[in-house]
Amino acid sequence: MKYPYKSGVTLLELIIVLFIIGLAAGVVTVSLSRMHDKTVIREDMKRVYSVLRLARNTAVMERKEITFNADETSVRLEGAASPPDFGGKRYPLKNITLKIKRGPIIFYPKGNSTGGLIELKDAKDRLYYIEVDTVSGSAKISQ
């Protein structure tokens, strides 16, 4: 028996293509979910890093000692500085817990510090570290 239409798509081919599209969509969804988790964690890590830089810069500019301190869910700066909301202001952390291994960290007017190691842990127990150098007062993030 001859079919009048020789070109076309069979039902099996259509099902295979739809299966491949569904599989690709699932992989993309999982990848985006993981990327979102890492982005959220990096946001908190950058917040801690930025507060460390703020502490060092303020100590140099104001020529006063500034102390970086933290509890598990927030970081704070202590010291006599000119902005009225600076002293004791808390910077909350949403997705990580923080522990100062060697601290509190004090930044001095010359730009140096007591140095320290800050441990950051995310919900999946992955550890990240921020190390503050004693001589330069600069911070470095590592995993």
Phi/psi for 38 (5° steps) reads -65, -35
With respect to residue 5, please indicate whether it lies within any of the assigned structural domains: no
- Name the band, by pLDDT with cuts 50, 70 and 90, for residue 3: low
Max CA separation in the chain (angstroms): 95
Encode pLDDT of 21-73 as tens digits.
Answer: 999 988 888 777 777 777 777 888 888 888 888 889 888 988 989 888 888 77
97 three-class SS: strand
With respect to residue 1, please indicate whether it lies within any of the assigned structural domains: no
With respect to residue 2, please indicate whether it lies within any of the assigned structural domains: no
With respect to residue 34, please indicate whether it lies within any of the assigned structural domains: yes
Q: For residue 38, give its domain range.
A: 13-142
Encode pLDDT of 63-120 as tens digits.
Answer: 989 888 888 777 877 776 555 455 556 777 877 888 888 768 899 999 899 988 888 8
With respect to residue 111, please indicate whether it lies within any of the assigned structural domains: yes
44 three-class SS: helix
Q: Which residues are within 8 A (CB) of 117 and not within 5 positions of it... i.e. 6 or more apart?
A: 100, 101, 102, 103, 129, 130, 131, 132
pLDDT at 139: 87
Distance in angstroms (rounded) separating the CA atoms of residues 75 and 90 = 6
The number of folded domains in the chain is 1
Task: Identify the CATH number of the domain in which residue 65 sits.
Answer: 3.55.40.10
With respect to residue 60, please indicate whether it lies within any of the assigned structural domains: yes
